[in-house]
Structures are given as C-alpha cells and as structure tokens.
Amino acid sequence: MLKQEASTNSFDPGPLLHALTALQKGDFAARLPENATGIGREIAKAFNGVVALNKNLANELQRVGSAAKADKKVSRSKKQPSAKGSWAKSFESVNSIVDTISQTHTVEARNGGAPRITRRSRTAENCGRIEERRFLGSLAR
C-alpha cells in the first residue's frame, strides 16, 4: 500500500526512514518538513505529531522529576489536547504519580517534615492511607 501511495504521489521514503530511525534511537527532535504535497505532507504531519507527543511526555516527566528532586512544588501536567488514546493514558499515569508524590509529602509534613506539595486527589488519598499504614506499622515493629 505504501508502495502504491508512494508511486502515485511521488513520495520519497528516504527522509521518512531517516526520521523514523532517529526517533527509534531516541531523538525526539527529529522532524519531517511539512512543505511537501499530497501523501508526503500527511505523513510528515502525522510523524511530527507523534514525535511532538513523545517530546511532550519526556518534557513533562523531566519537569516533575526535576521539581521533585529540587524539593519544589510538583504540579500535575497540563491537559494535552493532542494526547488521545494511549497517549492520554501515559499523561494520566504521570499525573497519578505526581498525585502520589503530593500525598506522600503531605503525610511527611504531617509527621514533622517540611511541607512543599499541597495538591491532592482522590487517588492520592488512597495512597496516603497506604503510607500512613506503612508508617504506623514501622512504629509498631
């Protein structure tokens, strides 16, 4: 099918293979020029969208990771309108981890540490109970 499309639209698959290989190797800056026409333009737009989503996910994880490491307030990821399906699941997982961190540090603050994260969620409340049980269990032992 790709062969047929390529022949009817004069699509050069070389740059696509090059960009895909770069993405495979972890280069989230790889992009295809969108100035082509026909199928080439559609492929370029789709590819660039995929790489941008990977880049956004990496940036979000780096942002919350750096904030957590530097003892700064960690906030949830902003809504990503372009993230659908499994992309949305990935971003939601990041937020779930952020919620857990928030709740953990809230418990830490309650037990004497310095508060730095205040955001909470229903999920985080469950996590807090787990942390508290773990803490009380440690005391009992």
Partner 1 sequence: MVALKRGDFSVRLPDDWVGVPGKIADTLNDVIVRNDRLTRELERVSRVVGKEGKITQRAALPVADGSWRSLIDSVNTLIDDMARPTTEMARVIGAVANGDLSPDDGPRGGWPAPKR
Contact track, partner 1, 44-73, x by CB under 8 A:
--xx-xx--xxx-xx--xx-xx--xx----
| 99: Cα separation from own chain's centroid | 14
Rounded to 5 degrees, φ, ψ at 28 are -85, 10
For 43, phi and psi rounded to 5 degrees? -65, -45
Residues 95-134 touching partner 1, rule: CB under 8 A, are 96-101, 104-105, 107-108, 111-114, 123, 126-127, 130-131, 134
Q: Give yes or no for a contact between 35 and 27, defined as CB atoms under 8 angstroms apart.
A: no
Amino acid letter, residue 31: R
Q: Which of 34, 79, 72, 73 is nearest to 56 (CA)?
A: 79
Residues of this chain that interact with partner 1 (CB under 8 A) are 2-3, 6, 13-14, 16-17, 20-21, 23-28, 42-43, 46-47, 49-50, 53-55, 57-58, 61-62, 64-65, 68-69, 83-90, 93-94, 96-101, 104-105, 107-108, 111-114, 123, 126-127, 130-131, 134-135, 138-139, 141
